Amino acid sequence: MKKSFQQKLHNKKDSLPEVKEITCDKLIAQVGPGKMVIPAPLEIDAIMRSVPEGLLITTDDIRRQQNAKYNAVYTCPLCTGIFTRIAACASEEVDKEPHMNPWWRTLKAKGEINEKFPGGVEGQIKKLESEGHKIIKRGKKYFVLDYKSALFKL
């Protein structure tokens, strides 16, 4: 039986977050020596919930916050992306205002719309435009115009 996004969000089997020393030479060459973080889905969800109406965050902002919190030099971008999607989809499963995660306020790097969020690109664009953001298309991708001016400080 396939797990719901709520089950994935609240998975107690994972011992996350996991903070450990970087041992991969290739990664050390990229980011330097230090600790790396594999974030916890519930922490990512909490960060996404903290963003007020009209403001935005990016997955890079979330990774920087996790680095600061755990005194690390690297937070896994793949896990961060997966967990933002889990948090967004889990919120849509519940769909009750007090429990709603404003997932549409979380963008990919450089202000890009996330095609894997509920409703796809169109779903996120609709919610962002309702909060006053302007969307532009570059090639096949969509971005929030001047997203940096609306970034929320974590």
Per-residue b or e along 124-153, where b marks 16 or more CB atoms closer than 10 Å to that residue's CB: bbebbeeeebebeeeeeebbbeebeebebe
What's the one-letter identity of residue 77? P
CB–CB of 128/134 below 8 Å? no
Mean pLDDT computed over 92-116: 88
Mean pLDDT computed over 23-47: 96
Report which secondary-structure segment, H or E, holds 8: helix 5-9
Query: Can you give the residue ranges of every domain in the chain?
Result: 5-150
Q: How many CB atoms lie within 10 A of CB 114?
A: 21
Q: Is the pLDDT of residue 95 over 90?
A: no
How large is the angle between the packed helices 41-49 and 59-70, nearest 10 degrees?
A: 120
CATH architecture for segment(s) 5-150:
Orthogonal Bundle (1.10)
pLDDT class for 97, splitting at 50, 70, 90? low
Q: Kindly tell me the burial class for residue 24, based on how many C-beta atoms sit within 10 Å of its own C-beta (0-12, 13-18, 19 or more).
A: exposed
